[in-house]
């Protein structure tokens, strides 16, 4: 997807954040070389403040995950104002309000490419959705969930 956008002259920057494990798919090394001019951050951010600062600078968060239990890193980015582009699988459709699913949930690689190109071309048109989705994602934070958990646990 990113290669297609770059080949079509669509400008973007990448912050590829997360832990790196001993076994890492070669695609990451290939991407690091192919997008060396677009990469502004790469890898694990030891200080949570740095991690959150990168999320706050973002416009879009993308997942192509084939295994995900909840999508916490995606929801962290959404809560910081990133517009999500998520596959139509796993827990992702459940995390997004129905009104935003047509914009957020992509069916395939072509759909992801088209939606990302649209956002990168005119990011301002998504500002209202980004704000509404950020408020929605903030509802999953521990400070907003703790009261509900306390009530459920006290009932048990």
Residue 143 or residue 113, greater confidence: 113
Contact 63, 71 (CB under 8 A): yes
Tell me the β-bridge partners of 86. 105
Closest to 85 (Cα-Cα) out of 67, 54, 49, 110: 110
**Distances from the Cα of 75 to the Cα of 10, 24, 58, 95, 101, angstroms:** 26, 24, 13, 8, 15
Contact 46, 53 (CB under 8 A): no
| Separation between Cα atoms, residue 121 and residue 98, nearest integer Å | 25
Which of 13-17, 65-69, 79-83, 127-131 bottoms out in mean pLDDT, i.e. has the lowest?
A: 65-69
pTM of this structure: 0.88
pLDDT at 33 over 80: yes
* Mean pLDDT of all residues in 64-68: 86
pLDDT of residue 135: 94
pLDDT at 84 over 90: yes
**Neighbour-count burial of 55, counting CB atoms closer than 10 A to its CB (0-12 exposed, 13-18 middle, 19+ buried):** buried
pLDDT at 144 over 80: no
**Distances from the Cα of 7 to the Cα of 27, 31, 89, 138, angstroms:** 18, 14, 28, 36
Confidence tier at 48 by pLDDT (50, 70, 90): very high
pLDDT at 131 over 90: yes
Q: Name the one residue in this structure whose structure tokens are 């890898």.
A: 43
């Amino acid at each position: 997807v990113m290669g297609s956008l770059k080949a079509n002259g669509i400008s973007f920057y990448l912050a590829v954040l997360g832990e790196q494990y001993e076994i890492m798919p070669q695609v990451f090394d290939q991407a690091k070389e192919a997008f060396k001019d677009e990469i502004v951050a790469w890898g694990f951010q030891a200080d949570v403040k740095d991690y959150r600062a990168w999320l706050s600078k973002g416009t879009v968060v993308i997942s192509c995950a084939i295994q995900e239990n909840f999508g916490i890193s995606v929801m962290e980015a959404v809560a910081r104002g990133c517009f999500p582009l998520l596959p139509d699988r796993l827990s992702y459709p459940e995390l997004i309000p129905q009104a935003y699913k047509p914009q957020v949930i992509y069916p395939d690689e072509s759909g992801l490419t088209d939606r990302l190109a649209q956002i990168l071309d005119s990011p301002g048109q998504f500002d209202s959705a980004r704000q509404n989705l950020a408020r929605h994602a903030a509802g999953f934070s521990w400070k907003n969930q703790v009261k509900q958990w306390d009530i459920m646990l006290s009932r048990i």
